[in-house]
Amino acid sequence: MRTRILVVTLLAVLVSANAFAQAQRTWVSGGGDDMNTCSYGSPCRTFAGAYVKTATGGVISVQDPGPYSGIFISKSITIDGGGTYASVLHTGDGITINFTTTDSFANTVILRGLSFDSPTSTGFGVVVTGSAPTHVHIENSSFGRAGAGVGMFPGGAGSSLKLKNIDIRKMNAYGVAVDPPAGAPLKLLLDDVRISQTAGYGVILFDNVNGTIRDSTFSNNIYGLSIQATSVHANVVRSVLSENTTTGLNHAVAGITTLLDGCSIFGNGTGIANTGSTVIGFSNNSIGNNLSDVTGNAVTSILQQ
């Protein structure tokens, strides 16, 4: 009898362990259920349901179009829309990323092929907080009707944010806002990012950022690109700042240096606001047809240095 009880107990432990096992790849579907295993044949219904069954560094994949709700992320993970319509409908923040320690994948979150939208026009589509360095990649995604698109506010120095093929429209405050702590600068790359109709700033860089913005367009906002501190060093390449009500490129304080290469700045209230700061440019930039092309210091040609 004792042997039989022992066998039954061991079986129960094994069943329990399997129930809580985490997979490297899980799946969600519009017809799934969060009580499922989240395998391809038994998908979950929401990102949050799949998250708890996905191992650190694993991938949540989307099988078919549908709304999959928001999620709180505190481990390295990839959420892949897979080319279908994977929606995050949010009334507060859509996806919150918050690391307090560093995991074996260096706190790396990849979000791909997602559509963010808020019927209340509030909250962030994606917001990064926490106390540890965090590395976020967002690709092939769109943001509409929220308070802000992407907010990068990590508590740990040496973080990074990379956006590629991103469309952000109709935000109440910011398209992209970046404000890291002192220490190792945040590494920023905006590649083919299109931001329009923001009732504030297309992109605002508050402090301690080294980055490149390339092949991007910031138009029909109040400000296109605003740099708020001398610790921000931005290179803007082959990009368009147009039809922004107040300023295309704004230097908010003296002492900032920004490089322009192959950019077009036109149709803004002020093309470049540059009081006390420096804009270094090549001869391939076009700045014109603004109400005021440049205020403050003139653009310095790199050829003259």
- Say if residue 7's pLDDT is above 90: no
Long-range (24+ apart) CB contacts under 8 A made by 279-285 are 279/249, 279/251, 280/305, 285/260, 285/261
What DSSP character marks residue 164? E
C-alpha distances (whole Å) from 88 to each of 25, 83, 143, 266, 295 are 20, 15, 9, 34, 41
What is the pLDDT, as a whole number, of residue 84?
80
Closest CA to 114 of 145, 147, 144: 144
Closest CA to 262 of 216, 228, 210: 216
For residues 241-267, average pLDDT: 98
pTM (predicted TM-score) = 0.92
**pLDDT (tens digit per residue) in 200-226:** 999 999 999 999 999 999 999 999 999
Token pair of 97 as six digits: 């990323």
**pLDDT (tens digit per residue) in 74-123:** 999 999 997 788 889 788 899 999 999 999 999 999 999 999 998 888 89
What is the pLDDT, as a whole number, of residue 16?
39
237 phi and psi, to 5 degrees?
Answer: -125, 130
Closest CA to 141 of 173, 182, 172, 109: 109
What is the pLDDT, as a whole number, of residue 21?
74
What DSSP character marks residue 302? G
C-alpha distances (whole Å) from 175 to each of 7, 145, 158 are 59, 10, 22
C-alpha distances (whole Å) from 156 to each of 44, 72, 180 are 33, 18, 8
Q: How far apart are CA 300 and CA 305, in angstroms?
A: 8
Q: Are 261 and 238 in contact (CB under 8 A)?
A: yes
